[in-house]
Amino acid sequence: MKCEEINIRDPFVLVYDNIYYMYGTRGKNAFKGEAYGFDVYKSKDLINWQGPIEVFHRPENFFSKSNYWAPEVYAIKDRFYMFATFANISKGLGTAVLVAESPEGPFQMWSDGYVTPKESRCLDGTLYYSKDQKPYMIYCNEWKEVHDGTVCAIPLSEDLSHSIGEPRILFKASSAKPFVKKVLFRNCITDGPFLIRTDDEKLHMIWSTYAKTGYVEAMAHSDNDDITGNWTVDTELLYDHDGGHGMIFRDLKGNYQLVLHYPNTFEKEHPRFTPVSYQNGKWKKTGI
């Protein structure tokens, strides 16, 4: 199947053993009804895809029955770790860690519930290793709780099973001037942070919010090129119209690709791949 036939949000691509594995939020169950799991799609060229292959299915008596969002999968020491967001039956929201022996699953719980702060509504956890190889989860504190959504970082145990410190706010959505647009009069949104370090040792974050042109992909940078620095949101957008919650990866030819969901319309979303280049410390689109 082609990308236009795949209805997912929040796409994430793992390149492993010369195969592209693409995970995402099932479009039809993203915001309504019960949720049952996550899938993966496989490709050798980013054009033709096999799937869906179910990699996680809700076990009996699982703590969450709705809002299964944004699975990200990382290959670490011959195991595969999934960071995924779940809503629980008491209306909590957070990111948990799952594990599998294969990128095709089956994934099972690794953390004891949420790794993000349990007293807060959190989502879209992503993995980052600092310069000294300490793991962190970078995530968003949901705008429905704090109104001015934040991007936060919390240190993790070496085995990624739990947090080992206090969270730190990196920046707030309202700092994304001049393009950020308030939702429902007073709310500013942060979604989908993703970090990537380039060959020049610069650390880059992409993340999503709402602007006048709809859902967009924004950028931010740290003044010390590590998670501990002071973060500034770029005034330029990487993707400026109706698409977001993306990530950047190198394809099998060594070129950078941005993948995000487009359009940001319920049940019409599909993954979109856009070549990007990195020049003079900045990311730029090189394709449509």
Q: Tens digits of per-residue pLDDT, 212-231?
A: 899 999 999 999 999 999 99
Name which of 110, 73, 116, 112 is nearest 92 in CA terms.
116
SS3 1: coil
Mean pLDDT by 10 residues, the chain (288 residues): 97 98 96 96 98 97 95 97 93 95 98 95 97 97 94 98 97 94 91 96 97 95 96 95 96 97 96 95 82
Neighbours of 81 (CB within 10 A): 22
Residue 197, token pair as written in the block: 């370090």
Residues in the chain: 288
Give the C-alpha distances (Å, rounded to integers) separating 99 from 46, 84, 96: 25, 11, 10
Give the burial string for 252-272 (b: 16+ CB within 10 Å, else e). eeeebbbbbbbebeeeebbbb
Residue 261, token pair as written in the block: 């969901």
- In Å, how far from its chain's centre is CA 101? 22
Which single residue is written with the structure tokens 């998670």? 227
Query: How big is the chain by its Cα radius of gyration, in Å?
Result: 17
Q: Tens digits of per-residue pLDDT, 272-287?
A: 999 999 998 889 998 6
Residue 79, token pair as written in the block: 């195991």
Which single residue is written with the structure tokens 């400026």? 240
Q: Which pLDDT does position 184 carry in this prediction?
A: 84
**Are 107 and 97 within 8 A, CB to CB?**
no
